[in-house]
Copies of this chain bind each other. A is one copy, B any other.
């Protein structure tokens, strides 16, 4: 039997610090709201340089589990938080830009997540949970709303319905997936021939969606949400689709 040599994976200092902090989280010893000791105290505890420590802290900030607290005194030292939304949005936005997945993938993921959100919202949402979505819809319906304003409000509308379903993960994923194609959708909205007509059509669907959710008609809301998202992607981004879809840039799939 011949000897088999396996490559060793070289762990770098910041990665070890990261793992050590993560282990405290998994063990339930570090919880949201807790503070880490200041860098100057923490670095010697880990036996690492302050720059290696800071690399690990920056990573934790970027994935939304830590916020830096500038200043001294009892409030200094970073604090553990749970803000996954921006982190997920950035991650998916970058990977979409790099072609890790294409627009068709985004469309199908949105359909899956939002069917679930609308059905769950119809089951669980209290009337008051939907008032904010209603007021966002009012603003979207005003004459003179620009495609850019509409794009922001549309994202908020869909995310508010997802939140009203009570599912924090689905609403986070919905927001991040929508966020990853924000620029593309904005560009498409700006190129629409008859913007007021498009706006009116999309808002008719939004109004009906909200009505079905308020009436507790989950299955119909899910079906309309699917048609709404497919129509939106279909009419608006067909031309961009082809140019942008993953795999067309000749990048080897094995890169993923």
Contact = CB atoms under 8 A, between A and B. Distances in A.
Contact of A54 (B51, B62, B108, B246): B51
A234 interface: no
A90 B170 CA distance: 17
A171 to B, nearest CB: 9
A159 to B, nearest CB: 13
A168 B103 CA distance: 10
A185 B56 CA distance: 28
Contact of A255 (B58, B82, B95, B116): B82
Interface string A155-193: 000000000000111101100010000010000000000
7 contacts: A22-B94, A26-B183, A32-B98, A54-B55, A83-B256, A108-B169, A168-B256
Interface of A: 10, 12, 14, 18, 22, 25-26, 28, 31-33, 51, 54-56, 58-59, 62-65, 68, 70, 80-85, 87-88, 90-95, 97-102, 104-106, 108-109, 111-113, 115-116, 120, 167-170, 172-173, 177, 183, 246, 249, 251, 255-256
